Structure 1
Amino acid sequence: MKLRETTLDWAATAASVGGVFGALFTYDVVQRVAIRFGAHAHQRAVTGMARAINRATLFAGTRLRVEGKAHLHPGRAYIIVANHQSLLDISMASDFLDELEPRYVSKRELAKGVPGVSFNLSRGGSACIDRKNPEQAIAAIEELGHRAQREGFSVVIFPEGTRSKTGAMRPFREAGLRALIRSAPGMEVLPVTSVGGSRLFRHNLKPITRNVELAFIVHPPVIPPDPADAEAFTAFVHRLEETIASALPRRDIEGRAGEDLR
């Protein structure tokens, strides 16, 4: 029985990874063509890539679920604040929230060398930040916020600053979120909980975990306080943490960031 399960695990991993890489390479080409027809055409290509990536995980028995989209107001752009469990958080946002045409605050390392993803981040209007250079990072985030407000697209930011390998949320870093809100006054904040990515990749790819549910849970949007009010803003960030954590499974809430919960 154990040999059979191991064989199924590796077969599912091979099929899923093959599907993901197929989507990345295919849509790297598609994006390069689509962007010639404008930002909207490029975003449609990004949505197609995201959906193909997410569907590739179905080979591993993954279940995809999104809830709370009724909280979205048609035609409105948001600052989307989410926890960060895996690279699939980006494909889930681009797929499940495609009508918002989201751009991202991303580490600059992803802007090179990753087919499909790097082209989107570097040419699609996202902010690629150097986490070792706070001045550059804040300037890039503020520029993105100004464009988002002016052009009417949404922005996704992961304030933990890095992925959680266990699913347990890390404390949110305020600086990037403060810069984004300050540069896009009037935009509401949309809290989102991402669930399942850390379980899917808890062994990295050796192998991936089968039969995991990947969920994207949208909470009601909130109006942020003036970022200049340090006390009110810190309290606001803590409320965001509580809201997002409220939809995590108990094992993730009780686990410690960095702890192996296998």
Structure 2
Amino acid sequence: MENSGTSSFLRTSRLESCFNASSSLSVKETPKRSVKEELRSKRRADIYLDEEGWGSVLISWIRIVMCFLTMMVTTFVWASIMLLLIPWPYERIRQGNIYGHVTGRLMMWILGNPIKIEGAEFSNKRAIYISNHASPLDIFLIMWLTPTGTVGIAKKEIIWYPLFGQLYVLANHLRIDRSNPTAAIESMKEAARAVVKNNLSLIIFPEGTRSKNGRLLKFKKGFVHLALQSRLPIVPMVLTGTHLAWRKGSLHIRPAPLNVKYLPPISTTDWTADKIEDYIKMIHDLYATHLPESQRPS
């Protein structure tokens, strides 16, 4: 997958130089840790305590307003660019990714949550990227951290989401019809054909919806159908702490530490259609192993 100089710079900055910028967002690649250190880290994620004072709430509101204004500006800029690129669908995908890298990075910088990234060596491969979903912050992280040449898959109704939905369609990302199982499977097949034809990567939330309490939900079959059709490897992205930073039904964004962990690619070249449930269980169990106790399935 070829990247322009601009997108290469953004990806490099994302994983290297911009992490060292002097700001409240601290992102670092961590060395391998012992089992005891891993357990301590998971316990800390489970027992995070936050401030509920008026000062903390006021700072949170200021940051939310800044994020909204930032997204309005970047959305307007890239929507203008993509309108000019209507005849060139792949260029719109690439520009949509660059928009995500810039906007996602800025949003997370404004919010100021400390972020730790592990397994970044798996972050720039052509693959099906999957992620657990427990907070709107997951969207910002995914926008920022997926490689150029990646398309998302969302329900067709996303077009009605203000700003984001219209840009999603302009960026030539994929939409599926979830009105019934037959339509959903056919939509997945069409998405897989588009990915193979254009040499793209994919990003999808296998739970199909956002968890209300941060605990991992059951995985739907869509990502396995995509793997069977495209034969792309699957790269799991395990997100922890986002449900504590932005809780369901709240507009108070807390300074909880966040962790993004890329797991090694899982080959799908020898997968067969008669073992779909086995593959779903295998990857679901893999997530449960890498999540802290507070985010494991009930």
Bin for the TM-score computed over the shorter chain: 0.7 to 0.9
Q: Secondary structure at the match of 2:59?
A: helix
**Aligned twin of 1:20:** 67
Q: Secondary structure at the match of 2:53?
A: helix
| Equivalent position amino acid for 2:117 in 1 | V
Whether the aligned pair in 1 keeps the contact of 2:117 and 2:259 (CA below 8 Å) is yes
The answer on 1:126 being equivalent to 2:173 is: yes
Q: Secondary structure at the match of 2:115?
A: strand
**Aligned twin of 2:279:** 236
**Aligned twin of 1:52:** 106
State the distance in 1 between where 2:181 and 2:136 align.
23
The answer on 1:66 being equivalent to 2:112 is: no
Distance 1:29 1:245, change over 3 A: same
Distance 1:250 1:141, change over 3 A: same
Q: Secondary structure at the match of 2:266?
A: coil
Distance 1:133 1:55, change over 3 A: farther
Kindly report the root-mean-square deviation, in angstroms, between the aligned alpha carbons of the 2 structures: 2.2
State the distance in 1 between where 2:102 and 2:251 align.
27
**Aligned twin of 2:151:** 103
TM-score (norm 2): 0.73
Whether the aligned pair in 1 keeps the contact of 2:228 and 2:273 (CA below 8 Å) is no
State the distance in 2 between where 1:67 and 1:211 align.
20
Distance 1:41 1:203, change over 3 A: closer
Shift of 1:240: 0.8
- Which of 10, 16, 28 pairs up with 2:57? 10
Shift of 1:227: 5.5
Q: Equivalent residues in 2 for 1:149-164 (5 A)?
A: 149-164=196-211
1:43-74, Cα deviation, whole Å (9 max, x unpaired): 2123212212222221xxx11222111134x5
Shift of 1:242: 1.8
Gaps of 5+ in 1: 257-262
State the distance in 1 between where 2:265 and 2:257 align.
24
Gaps of 5+ in 2: 1-50, 86-90
Whether the aligned pair in 2 keeps the contact of 1:111 and 1:119 (CA below 8 Å) is yes
**Aligned twin of 2:226:** 180
Distance 1:139 1:26, change over 3 A: farther
Whether the aligned pair in 2 keeps the contact of 1:178 and 1:227 (CA below 8 Å) is no
State the distance in 1 between where 2:52 and 2:224 align.
47
**How many residue pairs end up in the alignment?**
241
State the distance in 1 between where 2:218 and 2:248 align.
24
State the distance in 2 between where 1:191 and 1:167 align.
17
Q: Secondary structure at the match of 1:246?
A: helix
State the distance in 2 between where 1:213 and 1:170 align.
22
